Each structure stands twice: as structure tokens, then as C-alpha cells.
Amino acid sequence: MDANLEALLTASPEEVRFNWIQFAGTLSASTFLIALSMSLAANGPSSLQFLVFWIGVLLGFAGIAYQLINRANTPRAYREILVVLGVWGLLPRLLRGGLSPLFFDEFDHLRLAQDLSATGHAVSLDHLFQLGASFPGLELLTSTTAFVSTLSIWHSGLLVVALSHVLGIIGVFTLVGEHRSDARQGAFAALFYACNPSWLYFHAQFSYETLALPLLVWLLVLTDRWRRDGASLGTVGGFLFIAAALPIVHHATSAIAVAILVIWLVASMCTDLFGQDHRISRGTWRVSLASVLTAILVIGRLLLVGSKLWTYWSPALNVGSIGTSLRRLVGGGGGGRSLFGGAHLPWWELGAGFLLVPILLFILARALMQGRGSTDRTDGLELTFWVLALAFFVTLPLDLLASLSEAVHRSWGFSFLGLSAVAASVVTPFLRRPGRWRLLTAAAVFSVIAIAGTSVGISTNYQFPGPVEAGVDGRSIGSQTTLVAGWFASHSSSRDHVFVDRFVSRQIAVTSRADVMIPWQLWQMAYAPSLQLSTLATLARLHVDYMVFDRRMTTIFPPAGFWYSPSEPAIFSNSLVPAFNLDRYICYDWSRVVATTADYEIVAVDLHQVVADLRVGSMGIHPQCQHFSVVK
Amino acid sequence: MKNFSGGWDRVVAFMGALVVVTYLIQVLGGRLHAATSIIAILITLMSLAWVFSGQRPGPWSLRPIIACLVILLVAGASHLILPATTTESAVLLSDVTAVTDGNELVVRGTIDHLGVAHGVPLAVTAGKVSLANAFILRTVRTFSIIIKLENQDPCVVGVRVRAAHQTPVGPLSCQSSSR
């Protein structure tokens, strides 16, 4: 071992000169560059935005890695650096959108939190977020934080997100470090975990997955402590609270927690039975108890939620359909998506994306070779890490299916737990023998993984701001949508129902108390060449008070492929909405254009007139429009 | 017993407990605000107990807090100096009405805008005939345009109001007031 490194690792904490000014300075420079990249992107794609962004991000990672490698030698020191990593890791999301909700899911959860705060109970609008009230953990915590701190709901939510982001990274450090009795390995595992495709953006947004994942990690931490040290009030109490909270926060993460614990249990039993003693150890019995308790709490809660959850999960769980799609894809029958298709990434980001898999495979192979030469006993948790790591590669073919790519990307937040633990076992001994070339190699490999993680996990529209663009998630919010949402804030109430497209619906939902709706029965209001009496009946039955139309539906195809929902009839059919379909609402006695912007029209629906027209079997066409034969 | 968490394990356990307790209270019919009042008191008491128990709370070391504050300050300043949003102006016309007594046409409405520098040009038309053009200053929120009619009956073809580069609002229902 290098003399300097040995001195570092054996020095007392007081002897280690930790340069916080240098550390804060490096991260401040990184922060400035990330902000610069966002500003470059804001006015239109810039050739420099990706370069500046990654110089900033890699500078931040480099500053943190330097401190972890050269300046930290106690669990506390590692932990303090990782706390800063957790906060710094929020900056791409915060600098992307400022202190306002931006991403699709954030609006859903914000509206749920607002309703919870206003009524004292979890209430989800079926048209907006069907499962929301069934999994209100994030909103409960946010509402409590708002009440105690007197901050707004949104700012309280940001606090909860920040805390969750830090807890996640500290949790990985604690899990790996405690299990291997090596804080340095834990720190490297946490740093590696920060490269997972979801960490910089998806797990930095106000969404229930952001809170659920750290809870899962800490559930594993407490399970390992219980296994290792036996039951204590703190360990078992904390375990039970987290195991009970997880299925209140998020459905999929709690189910995955049960799956991971079961894998751990099976792996532990195998290592015990095939080990020297040929009997189940006391630790394994404790893991089994933890698994059973978690399974009871999670499965019981998910069963209480019932059919609503099954309906939500069924597309991802339809194994037959997935198999058919895969076979069609392999056979050249189409139905798949191209990796990085339409992403307009620089060549070096694409290259990093393609290098990710061979690099990870190399790391796993290296870890396997190290393990074969090691006398350390492999235990259940180590095998579980391997299973999670290998699961990453199993999900790769599924990423080619458009219907599953989103779920696959989200699964990588879990499989990277395993990859991080395995990678730490390779990186730590590699860097115990420092030399310039070793450091450069580690830095290069880490940079590729960090860049690849983001390029495969998030689209450019999410990563960077840009000019307002209709029909694009993450870019559709602008001055017009703000004015439209503001109009509803001052003109609508919680009793009003608004039919509106996906891209302005969420902003209306969090700015006003109206119930926004995008039901398939109303798509014909935009798409049908003529309206029928049955259309009026639908309006009356669904109690639609307002309709909002984006006139750009008549001139552009939505980049997302749909205006209302992925299952709308015009999806990928490249058919523009005829202008007449939106102009006709000046011709009915039950509709009136009450507000307009350059591209949006707000149409008020007079439900009393609708009912009156239905009674006499009339469509309610104004006399001045009668000569328009197309108006029926 | 190894413990690398430095107290963060207590933080996450407490978060879990908060979620469970508040969930049970609101499911069992309690009002969440009452629950959060109780929780606020509990938090205060527990924090005081923790501080005065002689243990220095692990997660609250000053150095990472100061480092995080510095980074957040730099982020805030950077965001102000280098904004990540494009300046896009937009105008919303609403509650536009038209009333005529045969001699005059009065068009009223509300105008909201974002990012407008000086004001908003408005055009009032009846069919293809331009009735009036007005410039509404950015500080004005409601407008009222009085148009002298010369042997015109705009209600026949319908009155429309258009802000610059926007879809017109209308046809507006023309209401006749008594002379």
C-alpha cells in the first residue's frame, strides 16, 4: 500500500486536514457551470449546453471523489461529504426548472398535497391521479412539514425531496459500509449509485418514488443490523415503521422491497445449507422474520387498495403481451423503439451510452475474479447485490419495447443498488494502490458511467430547458399556459370540471381547484368531424363546465404522439385536427369562448342549455351558423 | 455494533413513523390538522430531549450544512444571473362583451398579460370591416372601446376582438341597449 494512503487510513481524524473551502469552491464552480448550461439551452439548442453541463457535473463528482479518496478516513467524514453530494445532486433539477413544479408527476402530487392540506384527508381526482389517495405518504409528510414550518406546500415538498435525496445516498453508504465493515467501500458505493439513470432528475423531483427508494434502502440497512446484531428496540422499531410506511408511499417500491428480502432470504438459506455448518443460522432466521413482516404489511396494504392497483399495473404485468412484442421485435415485425431515438445527443454522449454495458460487465467480471480468490464467506446480502446487478442486464432487451421503457428505466434505480455494491468491491482495492494512471483510469471509467447513466435515463427535454413547445412534456409550460391556469384560478371552483389536453391540464390543476379531466369519451370534442346528440349527453353526464383547446392541434403533430392520452385515436397517425373542429364552438348556444390567448381557447359550457337542447333533440346551432352544412 | 449512519437512521425512522401515524389518523376519520398539531408538539419535545440528552445529533454537523448553504447560494445567484427560461410574452383576453345602441358600439373586456413590454394592440372587426384599433397600456387590466357607428350594424356579422398575433375572440353577442 502506498505510504501516503496508509498514513491517511491510519491517521486519527484530527490529523486529517479536510479542506472544506477547496471542497465548497469546487462544487460552487460546478454549480455555476450547470446553471450556465441551462441558460445556454433556454433559448434553443446550443452545441455547448451538453459540454458545459457535463464539465460542471463531472467537476462536482471529481471534487467529491477527491475528498472521499484523499481526505476522508472516518465514517463521519465520508458521511459529511456524501450529505453534500446529496444536496448538490439536486441542482440539475432545481436549475432546470427553478423553484416551481415542472415535470408531469410533480403536478399530480402537488395537487394531491394541496387537497390533503385543504381537506385533512387524502383525496385524489380520478381523472388526474387515480392512485394518489391510495399512496399519500409523500403528501402526508409534505403537509405535516408545511404545517410545522409554515412554508408553502410546494416549498415543503422541496424540503422533503431534498431530505429524501440525502437519505438515499447516506442509506447506500450505510448499507454497504456496515455490511462490509468498510466505510470506504460504502462511500464508493454511494458515489457509484449517484450515477444511476434516475438519480440526478427522476429521484430529485416531487414524486412518491423519490421518498420510497430511500425508505427501501434503509429497510435493508435495518434488516442487516437485525440479522447481524439481533433485535433491539431501535432496530426493530425503526424497521417496523419503515416497513409500514413504504406501502403507504409507493406501490411498486414496496413490492420490490418484498422481492429483494425474499431473494436475500433464499440466498441466505442457500449459503447456510451449502456452507460449513449445513444449518440455518440465527441471522437467517432474523432475515426470514423481517421478510415475513414486510410481506404481511406490504401485501396486506396492496390488497386493501384492490382492483385500482391491478388496473394500473396490468400493462406491465401482461407477460404474454410482452413476450409477443419481443418476438415481433426480434422477428423484424416492428413495435419497438430505437435507443436514443430522436434524442439529438452529442456523439460522445451516445458513445458513453453504448460503452455503459461493456464497462459494467467488465466490473462484474473483475468482481467475480476477486471473489474467487477471496477467503471471505459470501453471504445472502452479497448474493442479493449480485442478483440486483444482473437484473440490470436482464431488463436491457425490454427497454426496446415502447410500452415498457419507462418502467425499465425506473427499475434501474433498484438494480444500481446491486451494481454499486459490486463495483465498490472492485474500486476500493483498485484505489488502495494509487498511482496517477490508476486515478485517471478510475476517473475516465466513472465519467463514462456518469454520462451514460443520464443519457440512457432521461430525455433532452427533461434534462434541459428550451423554448416553449406545444405537445412536449417538460417544455409546454410557458407564459400562455400560466395565463390560462391563472384564469381558472380566478374564475373556477372545486365544483367545476375542465376538459383539457395533457400539456396544460396539470398547471390548471395546481393553480386552481377545478377538476381537470381527459376522459376518452370527450376526445371527440376535438377529433370528431361532427358532433352528435350523444356528445351533448356525454357533456351533461360528465358535468363538463369548461373545455380548453390548443389551436396548435390544427397545425402541428404533437412530438409526444398524442394530445390527451397515449390511447387516443390519432396516436402516431399524423393527422392534424381540422381547424373547423375548434371553430365550431362559436356556433352552439351551449358553448361560448370566454377567454383566448394566441393559441388557447377557453370555452364555457352552459349545462342548463345542453339539457334544454337534449330535451328537444336539438344540437343548439346558432341561426347564423345554420348555413354551414358541416355544422350538425 | 457498527453504526455508520450518524443518526440519519433515526431521521428516516421518524419519517416512517410520521407517515404511518398521520395516515392512520386521517383514515380513521381524524382531521389531519389536529394530528399535525400533536406531531408538531411531539417534534418539539423530542428535539429538546435530544439536545439536552448530552448527545450531539449526528446529522447536524456544521461543516456539511455550511457547504450546502454555500452551494445553494451559488445556485440561486447563478440562476438569477443566468436565467434558464426564455422570455415569452403572452396575452389573455377574457370576458369580452359588445353592446350597441345603434349609434355607438361599446366593447369591454379584461386583458391579462405576461412579458409584455409596453402594451397590447387590439383590433375590433365586424366581418372583414375594421371598426377600431386601440393600444392598451400594460398597466391597464380592463378596457373599454367606444366606437361610433356610421350606418353600420355590426351585430349582423358579429363583432370580434383580436389582440396582436392572436386568434380573435368572437363573434360576441351584440346586445342592444335602449336609446
The one-digit pLDDT tens for each residue of chain B (179 residues) are 678 988 889 889 889 988 998 898 888 877 777 667 777 677 767 766 665 555 555 555 778 888 899 999 999 999 999 888 776 889 999 999 888 888 889 999 999 999 888 889 999 988 888 889 999 998 999 999 999 988 777 777 788 888 887 877 877 777 665 44
Say yes or no: B57 and B98 in one domain.
no
Closest CA of chain A from B103, distance in Å: 23
Q: Residue A492 in contact with residue A471, Cβ under 8 Å?
A: no
Tell me which of A8-12, A189-193, A449-453 is least confident: A8-12
pLDDT at A456 over 70: yes
Burial of A151 (0-12, 13-18, 19+ CB in 10 A): middle
Q: Which residues contact A607 (CB under 8 A, 6 or more apart)?
A: A539, A540, A543, A544, A545, A590
Q: Which residues of A touch B75 (CB under 8 A)?
A: 31, 35, 91, 94-95
Bigger pLDDT: A275 vs A384: A384
**What is d(CA A39, CA A95) in angstroms, rounded to the nearest whole number?**
9
The answer to whether A133 contacts chain B (CB < 8 Å) is no
**Residue B3 counted as domain residue:** no
Say yes or no: B113 and B54 in one domain.
no
- Closest A-chain CA to B17: A241
What are the grid coordinates assigned to A373, written together?
Answer: 480468490
Q: Which residues of A touch B7 (CB under 8 A)?
A: none
Say yes or no: B110 and B71 in one domain.
no
Report pLDDT digits (tens) over A157-187: 999 999 999 999 999 999 999 999 999 999 9
What is the three-state SS of A38-62?
HHHHHCCCCCCHHHHHHHHHHHHHH
Beta carbon pairs, A and B, within 8 Å: 255
Bigger pLDDT: A616 vs B30: A616
Q: Which residues of B touch A91 (CB under 8 A)?
A: 71, 75
Burial of A248 (0-12, 13-18, 19+ CB in 10 A): buried
What are the grid coordinates assigned to A446, written together?
Answer: 466513472
> Do the chains contact at A87 and B167, CB–CB below 8 Å?
no
DSSP code string of A212-234 = HHHHHHHHHHHHHHHHHH---HH
**What is d(CA A322, CA A401) in angstroms, rounded to the nearest whole number?**
8
**Residue B29 counted as domain residue:** yes
Question: What domain range includes position B164?
Answer: 90-176
> Do the chains contact at B92 and A177, CB–CB below 8 Å?
no
Closest CA of chain B from A20, distance in Å: 7
pLDDT at A2 over 80: no
Say yes or no: A406 and A526 in one domain.
no
**What is d(CA B153, CA B155) in angstroms, rounded to the nearest whole number?**
5
Number of domains in chain B: 2
pLDDT band at A284 (very low <50, low <70, confident <90, very high): very high
Cα-Cα-Cα-Cα dihedral of A289, A294, A299, A300, to 10°?
Answer: 90
Q: Which residues of B touch A609 (CB under 8 A)?
A: none
> Do the chains contact at B2 and A178, CB–CB below 8 Å?
yes
Q: Residue B138 in contact with residue B157, Cβ under 8 Å?
A: no
State the CATH number of the domain containing residue B121: 2.60.40
Cα-Cα-Cα-Cα dihedral of A271, A272, A278, A280, to 10°?
Answer: -150
> Do the chains contact at A147 and B63, CB–CB below 8 Å?
no
Of A24, A214, A246, the CB nearest to B67: A24
Say yes or no: ipTM exceeds 0.95: no
- Closest B-chain CA to A598: B166
Percent of chain A's residues with pLDDT above 90: 55
Report pLDDT digits (tens) over A355-368: 999 999 999 999 99
The torsion angles phi and psi of B30, rounded to 5 degrees, stand at -80, 160
Closest CA of chain B from A321, distance in Å: 37
Q: Which residues contact A354 (CB under 8 A, 6 or more apart)?
A: none
**Residue A329 counted as domain residue:** no
Q: Residue A568 in contact with residue A562, Cβ under 8 Å?
A: yes
Percent of chain A's residues with pLDDT above 70: 88
Residue with cell 445532486: A89
Closest CA of chain B from A218, distance in Å: 7
Say yes or no: A545 and A611 in one domain.
yes
**Residue A150 counted as domain residue:** yes
Average pLDDT over residues A305-325: 71
What are the grid coordinates assigned to A560, written together?
Answer: 409526444
Q: Which residues contact A39 (CB under 8 A, 6 or more apart)?
A: B82, B83, B84
Q: Residue A471 in contact with residue A560, Cβ under 8 Å?
A: yes
Question: What domain range includes position A532?
Answer: 479-625
Of A35, A41, A87, the CB nearest to B79: A35
Residue with cell 462490509: A180
The torsion angles phi and psi of B64, rounded to 5 degrees, stand at -65, -30
Q: Which residues of A touch B36 (CB under 8 A)?
A: 143-144, 147-148
Per DSSP, chain A holds a count of helices (H) and strands (E) of 26, 5
Report pLDDT digits (tens) over A133-144: 889 999 999 998
Q: Which residues of A touch B86 (CB under 8 A)?
A: 42-43, 465-468, 478
How far from A544 is each of A145, A498, A604, CA to CA, in Å? Answer: 35, 6, 9
Of B74, B166, B168, the CB nearest to A597: B166
**Residue A323 counted as domain residue:** no
pLDDT value of residue A631: 44
Bigger pLDDT: A264 vs B157: A264
Report pLDDT digits (tens) over A489-542: 999 999 999 999 999 999 999 999 999 987 778 888 988 888 889 989 999 999
Interface of A with B in 459-518 (CB under 8 A): 465-468, 478-480, 482-484, 486-487, 491
pLDDT value of residue A21: 82
Domain final residue pick, A406, A430, A463:
A463
pLDDT value of residue A350: 84
Q: Looking at the DSSP assignment, which residues form a beta bridge with residue A518?
A: none
Domain final residue pick, A463, A493, A512:
A463
State the CATH number of the domain containing residue A557: 3.40.50
**What is d(CA A23, CA A29) in angstroms, rounded to the nearest whole number?**
10
Say yes or no: A451 and A567 in one domain.
no
Q: Which residues of A touch B45 (CB under 8 A)?
A: none
Domain final residue pick, B63, B81, B99:
B81
Say yes or no: A239 and A187 in one domain.
yes
Of A87, A148, A218, the CB nearest to B12: A218
- Closest B-chain CA to A624: B157
